[in-house]
């Protein structure tokens, strides 16, 4: 998710795209060859994390996952000694993000994840009337939700993507 947060909105209108490594330069004729798979992968991760936290969609709105919806091998909050989240827990108490906006963003992650994961469809994570910046905002909210409800609750260091982090980082340089 973080890779899309950092690169998706930046690369959305870059044509053509060059990726330069220490020993290789890759020319990509259309940024969608990179950004669309990044978005689709990120939305799958976001959907999976929300299900783990106890949030799903029913009837077009966010709902708590019923315990019977989990399969025996599904990881869930209870496996960590934590309670599943309610919709209000997931959508409230965000600085600068209203509960309604949080609900819209989380709903976007699950609905787009459903489209991407189930079968071949005409829609992808980037074609469901969501901008790259909106997808990045949604993925960032999911990362913050996991940090708040899992890592903070377990008194573990938060997942952060900064230079020197064990989780890695991405830096950009304008040429």
Q: What are 84-116's pLDDT values in tens digits?
A: 999 999 999 999 999 999 999 999 999 988 888
Strands (E), the chain: 17-20, 25-28, 55-58, 61-64
Give the structural domain span for 147: 2-151
Report the number of distinct structural domains present in the chain.
1
Residue % of the chain over a pLDDT of 70: 94
| 161, part of any domain | no
pLDDT band at 77 (very low <50, low <70, confident <90, very high): very high
Check: CB of residue 39 under 8 Å from CB of residue 25.
no
Residue 147 forms part of a structural domain: yes
pTM of the model: 0.89
Task: Give domain status of residue 170, yes or no.
Answer: no
Distance CA(70)–CA(51), nearest Å, equals 9
Whether 157 maps to a domain, the answer reads no
Cα(11)–Cα(19) distance, integer angstroms: 11
Segment 29-62, tens digit of pLDDT: 888 888 888 988 999 999 999 999 999 999 999 9
**Is 23 domain-assigned?**
yes
Residue 38 is encoded by which pair of tokens? 């990044």
């Amino acid at each position: 998710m973080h890779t899309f947060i950092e690169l998706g909105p930046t690369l959305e209108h870059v044509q053509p795209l060059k990726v330069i490594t220490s020993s290789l330069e890759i020319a990509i004729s259309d940024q969608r060859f990179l950004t669309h798979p990044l978005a689709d992968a990120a939305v799958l991760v976001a959907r999976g994390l929300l299900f783990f936290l106890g949030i799903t969609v029913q009837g077009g709105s966010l709902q708590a996952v019923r315990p019977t919806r989990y399969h025996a091998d599904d990881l869930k909050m209870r496996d960590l000694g934590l309670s599943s989240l309610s919709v209000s827990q997931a959508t409230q108490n965000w600085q600068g993000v209203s509960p309604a906006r949080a609900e819209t963003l989380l709903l976007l992650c699950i609905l787009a994840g459903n489209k991407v994961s189930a079968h071949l469809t005409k829609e992808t994570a980037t074609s469901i009337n969501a901008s790259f910046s909106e997808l990045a905002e949604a993925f960032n909210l999911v990362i913050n939700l996991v940090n708040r409800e899992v890592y903070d609750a377990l008194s573990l260091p938060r997942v952060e993507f900064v230079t020197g982090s064990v989780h890695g980082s991405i830096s950009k340089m304008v040429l």
